[in-house]
Structure 1
């Protein structure tokens, strides 16, 4: 182990950034040669008189720069970059994308692995609105977005409102969909090495994206009623996270909805431990409940995220964030840095959809179609154990014995149906095994396709694994 000790009085910026820069310089000039083991984080924190969190952030930064590798129980070592294959930095296997869903689905499969808004004829409406937009704004189409019309913010305010509550218009940030909005928030209010709280089962694309920008995921326990406040408080007290990503209503994939009491407890815990809350309300805006949003209970620290993908049209990539006071400009800049900026055409069409009332009308039709498809699922899957909610385009199926989640996914694929197994929704590697699969029914072209796909799944479930030869 090296006895190298940096001098943090040199340089500028946060301590963790200075430390990371000094480690990089020491590696470059040979003071830390290939194979050298860096001091344990706790020891270095004591020697420098800083917190272990500062050391952790610095070590995360240099790991992201490809300078060191870390192994739990062994320590952090300087890599030998001189012997690295030329294309190693470009090797996709080296990026932590394990478990991420393949986007290009095999042709001819029934897609029960998507929850995008069903096709109820949006194309006709969008075609007309795009023609009107091109007529009204011919010059804006050929240029970058330099200014944001007031209507874009009004649309976000309208879409994110719930009952009598409405966000302030100066808190609104238009985004390239909800996912981009969440990542803009994480980029703005956290730093590399910071910990982000996720439920054990969640929309894991966010936790994986957070990992790609150097944030660390930590998990909290949930039950059939959603996130458990007592475990959230334990994690906050012990691990000091900077933010938490939550779906209080119609949680994906469990469809759990937090009670008012739990929402109040979570808001108070976040306030006590200075944790930012990111509230994903994509499905919540479709559900039938009048519970207050976390943004209502904790407006000083909640970023409310919503969009059009699940209830209007996923292809237009429209979304908004309602921010705590004085944060909108910061999030707007972060969104531009993360995404490259929002195109005029998409932001304008989303605003027109919402302010004209067309988005609300499409949402009502989509919900009607989703409920019709849900009735088909309930009829065919009758007697099985699953959770679902009215208006929500998926159900959370408990697999009967002896099915395993991954085996069932593979069997369904072989039978012509794409489903998501539980691993798709795990934010980390919890010890729990749930033996469940999420079945979405909004993507198929029509109800008959939904019926045939559900019948296929029912036959698999009834036959058990004896009806599936994984080596065929």
Structure 2
């Protein structure tokens, strides 16, 4: 019998590290507390729809850390992850035949939802801070988009992060052209000393999304959305608006609420943040010969290649050595040029040792491919 191949080291995903010593204790305690307060039939006997009052207050606490003040609970909607929130918002706020402005490299599910709902995503040129305000204004003049979707902090896949001045400039354009803003802030709880979200600068037109998948655990499937007002939130999310799967599982919502109320969520996030500090210390020196971009707190690294080298070839060579990485292809809008770059997730590796070994493989394969292309 032949020996099975070694498992692939997964570095194509931006999952947070597991921090089991902290997470397991906090999650188990929260689960036990929830089950002691409710019978199973009470817990799963009905949907929690937009969240119970306690769920929505807890979501207000989490989002308030970034928004600068705790939003009224009536504006908070508890969803089954960020993608579920998109599924409701994009159909309602953009709609068939209209245009959604997005970053020139955008979150891949947006492109799938564009086909589903019949709207057209249009890319806005980016620089090291993300969306360029002048480019957004030019698109507003030419295509009249209904809304703008963006990640101003640790943009996926480039890790671009907007300064306060850039965020204000984006708000100014949005107000001039009456753009709704869909702000995905999912990577924002790990870095320190960030500017406020765009939604804090323009709450009257912003739909602010903050999920737990990149800071607590990818499988929890909880995201909190803050609408411009309670009435607008209900118009998009009240039961029966559209048949979909956006409602959070009752047990997940209850456990998340419990961990927020007891401080367990903060303790997990603090542990993830500290682990990522160590992981950056491991990765950065090993990639010193590459043209890489990342930032403190980022779960991923963006490695740019010379145009003479091909990212697909590099990713394939790395895969042969037992490591999976991503390329820019899924983030590119139809008809646009694909940049030669790879994205590596540094949180998903099971241990620091596994991360170090995988990063060495990536660096060695990079040198081989780039040198051969010269």
Is the TM-score greater than 0.5?
Answer: yes
Residue of structure 2 in register with 1:6 after alignment: none
| Post-superposition offset of 1:166 | 3.0
Show the counterpart of 2:278: 372
In structure 2, distance between residues paired with 1:146 and 1:358:
22
Q: Tell me, yes or no, if the aligned pair for 2:184 and 2:208 is still in contact at 8 Å.
A: yes
1:464 aligned counterpart, secondary structure: helix
Shift of the alpha carbon at 1:107?
7.2
CA distance in 1, matches of 2:98, 2:260: 36
Q: Can you list the C-alpha shifts for 1:153-208, whole angstroms capped at 9, x where unaligned?
A: 11111111227333222210001112212222212222212211111112222232
Q: 239, 247, 252: which is aligned to 1:346?
A: 252
Residues 429-457 of structure 1, C-alpha deviation per residue, up to 9 Å, x if partnerless?
313x4221111111111000001101111
Task: Report the equivalent of 2:46.
Answer: 144
Report Cα offsets for 1:385-442 as digits up to 9, x if no partner: 11111111111111257421111111111211111101122133313x4221111111
**In structure 2, C-alpha distance between the alignment counterparts of 1:117 and 1:365, rounded to whole Å:** 10
* Cross-structure match for 1:421: 327
Distance 1:152 1:336, change over 3 A: farther
Tell me the residue number matched to 1:329: 234
Specify which of 234, 251, 267 is matched with residue 171 of structure 2. Answer: 267
Deviation of 1:118 after TM superposition, in Å, equals 0.9
123, 126, 145: which one aligns with 2:24: 123
Could you tell me which of 359, 366, 373 is aligned with 1:454? Answer: 359
**Larger Rg belongs to:** 1
- Structure 2 unmatched ranges of 5 or more: none
Structure 1 CA distance for aligned equivalents of residues 46 and 242 of structure 2: 12
Q: What residue in structure 2 maps to residue 249 of structure 1? A: 153
Identify which of structures 1 and 2 has the higher relative contact order when contacts are C-alpha pairs closer than 8 Å and 6+ apart. Answer: 2
Is the contact made by 1:144 and 1:343 (CA closer than 8 Å) also made in structure 2? no
Q: Structure 1 CA distance, aligned partners of 2:370 and 2:129?
A: 31
1:306 is matched with which residue? 210
Q: Structure 1 residues 430 and 174, CA, compared in 2 at 3 Å: closer, same or farther?
A: same
**Structure 1 CA distance for aligned equivalents of residues 62 and 13 of structure 2:** 23
Distance 1:375 1:336 in 2: 46
CA distance in 2, matches of 1:461, 1:123: 37
3-state SS of paired residue (2:296): coil
- State whether structure 2 residue 374 is matched by structure 1 residue 445: no
**Deviation of the 1:373 alpha carbon:** 1.1
* Post-superposition offset of 1:144: 2.0
Task: State the distance in 1 between where 2:244 and 2:32 align.
Answer: 30
1:160 lines up with 2:57 in the alignment? no
Q: Is the alpha carbon distance of 1:381 and 1:175 closer, same or farther for their aligned partners in structure 2, counting shifts above 3 Å?
A: same
> For the Cα contact (< 8 Å) 2:68–2:200, is it kept in 1?
no
- Provide the C-alpha distance between the structure 2 equivalents of 1:107 and 1:323, rounded to a whole number of angstroms: 47
Cα distance in 2 between the residues matched to 1:218 and 1:178: 21
Structure 1 distance, partners of 2:173, 2:219, is 37
Question: Among 430, 453, 464, which residue is 2:336 paired with?
Answer: 430
Please name the residue that 1:399 is paired with: 305
Counterpart of 1:174 in 2: which secondary structure? strand
Structure 2 residue aligned with 1:91: none
Distance (Å, rounded) in 2 between the aligned partners of 1:360 and 1:206: 30
Shift of 1:150: 1.3
RMSD: 2.1
Partner of 2:35: 134
Equivalent residue runs for 1:97-108 within 5 Å: 108=7
The structural deviation recorded for 1:375 is 1.1
Separation in 2, partners of 1:143, 1:451:
46
Between the two proteins, the alignment pairs up a number of residues equal to: 362
Q: Is the 8 A contact 2:67 2:199 kept in 1?
A: no
Match of 2:192 among 288, 305, 310: 288
Are the structure 2 counterparts of residues 180 and 163 from structure 1 closer, same or farther at C-alpha, using a change threshold of 3 Å?
Answer: closer
Residue 302 of structure 1: how far off its partner (Å): 0.6
Does the CA contact (< 8 Å) of 1:208 and 1:427 recur in 2? no
- Shift in alpha-carbon separation, 1:290–1:224, aligned structure 2, 3 A: closer
Judging changes above 3 Å, is the alpha-carbon distance between structure 1 residues 261 and 338 closer, same or farther for their aligned structure 2 residues?
Answer: same
Q: 2-side partners of 1:123 and 1:374: how far apart?
A: 24
**Aligned partners of 2:101 and 2:124 also within 8 Å:** yes
